[in-house]
Chain A
Amino acid sequence: MRGQVIVDQERCKECSLCITACPHDVLRISAAINSKGYHPVEAYQPENCTGCTFCATICPDVALTIMRKRPERK
């Protein structure tokens, strides 16, 4: 797991653009419901995440925060 996606569940509007943008199949629509009535996305395969930020770049609601592991210094 090189990267991590943090979803702001209240900002997500279930447009699924992040799911189509993710090259590593990390995200899916969850069963949870937020206060607007949308099913926010969740990271169901977090171990695949590389922290590439594709999902966050396309997210129209700035609902995603991306963390990435620092490369180990030799």
Chain B
Amino acid sequence: MRVVFEKPEAMTDSPMHYCPGCTHGVIHRLVAEAIDSLGIREQTIGVASVGCSVFAYDYFNVDMQQAAHGRAPAVATGIKRVLPDKMVFTYQGDGDLASIGMGEIVHAAARGENITVIFVNNAIYGMTSGQMAPTTLVGQKTATSPRGRSAAETGYPIRMCELLATLDGPSYLARVSSHDTKHIIQAGRAIKKAFEMQQQNKGFAMVEVLSTCSVNWGMTPAKSMEWLAENMIPYYPLGVYKDITAEEGK
């Protein structure tokens, strides 16, 4: 018998504080596997956000820095410019990246900053117990939209990949999902690609991972995976929105 699957080296032994069935854990593992497979654990610096992933520094076995709410791309910019030979990534949720941190992410992308951004989109504010986020779907019930999000009152959810794809700075933008085994494997490939782009000095790379929040959505973990596939993917279509290496290859 040989081991075919185990906890990656870039993850620590400490048990994660996430709720049962939270896909943050899956995405942490995919990031750690990407770091391991590229052999960059000693050169990587992560920037954690504010939100459920605020304790990411306890779970990644790499150097980590905690940024103020939404400011992870700005902090990562500073680290990468001072230490250009290090691999710098940020790990942000939708409340962090698409709401308070909208300015930082758009400008980091516009500057083509050579960093990797992992964007976890679960359409709700998880840590603060389920308020409406900028990515909450129209009609979705949350603590602050108990009758469902109304477009007339609060507008429409933001599609970050499409928004950033209009800029010239980003080198790689992809949206993937974490709702079943097949999509998790695809997500792992996209995350690895985003790190490779940084290794090759191609510039800003972001992977948006659709995620669940079973506790705040009020569902079982298995049911929330189905809800993601049925409701989020039609509004947030999966795919690669920008890849300058594919364009170069043509």
Residues on A facing B (Cβ under 8 Å): 3-4, 10-11, 13-17, 20-21, 36, 38, 51, 53-54, 56-62, 64-70
Say if the beta carbon of B29 comes within 8 Å of chain A. Answer: yes
Chain B residue contacts of A51, Cβ below 8 A: 4
Interface flags for B26-59 (1: CB within 8 Å of A; 0: not) read: 1011000000000000000000000000000000
Q: A64 CA to B16 CA in the complex, in Å?
A: 14
Chain B residue contacts of A14, Cβ below 8 A: 20
3 A-B pairs closest in CB distance: A60-B25, A15-B21, A13-B20
Q: A36 CA to B2 CA in the complex, in Å?
A: 30
Chain A residue contacts of B221, Cβ below 8 A: 15-17
Q: A53 CA to B185 CA in the complex, in Å?
A: 11
Chain B residue contacts of A13, Cβ below 8 A: 19-21
Q: A20 CA to B179 CA in the complex, in Å?
A: 12
Say if the beta carbon of B181 comes within 8 Å of chain A. Answer: yes
Q: A66 CA to B3 CA in the complex, in Å?
A: 6
Chain B residue contacts of A61, Cβ below 8 A: 15-16, 18, 25
Q: A70 CA to B2 CA in the complex, in Å?
A: 7
Q: Check A10 against B24 for contact (C-beta < 8 Å).
A: no
Say if the beta carbon of B184 comes within 8 Å of chain A. Answer: yes
Q: A65 CA to B21 CA in the complex, in Å?
A: 17
Say if the beta carbon of B102 comes within 8 Å of chain A. Answer: no
Chain A residue contacts of B23, Cβ below 8 A: 60
The number of residue pairs between A and B whose CB atoms lie closer than 8 Å in the complex comes to 80
Total number of B residues with any Cβ neighbor in A under 8 Å: 31
Q: Check A54 against B181 for contact (C-beta < 8 Å).
A: yes
User: What's the minimum C-beta distance from A35 to chain B, rounded to whole angstroms?
Assistant: 10
Q: Check B5 against A53 for contact (C-beta < 8 Å).
A: yes
Q: Check A68 against B21 for contact (C-beta < 8 Å).
A: no
Q: Which of B163-203 contact A (CB under 8 A)?
A: 180-181, 184-185
Contact of B184 among A11, A57, A67, A70 (CB under 8 A): A57
Q: Check A53 against B15 for contact (C-beta < 8 Å).
A: no
Which residue in chain A gives the minimum CB-CB distance to B214? A15
Given contact pairs A15-B20, A65-B6, A58 touches B180 in the complex (Cβ within 8 A): yes
Say if the beta carbon of B22 comes within 8 Å of chain A. Answer: yes
Chain B residue contacts of A70, Cβ below 8 A: 1-2
Q: Check B1 against A67 for contact (C-beta < 8 Å).
A: yes
Given contact pairs A53-B4, A67-B1, A60 touches B24 in the complex (Cβ within 8 A): yes
Q: A13 CA to B1 CA in the complex, in Å?
A: 27
User: What's the minimum C-beta distance from B45 to chain A, rounded to whole angstroms?
Assistant: 22
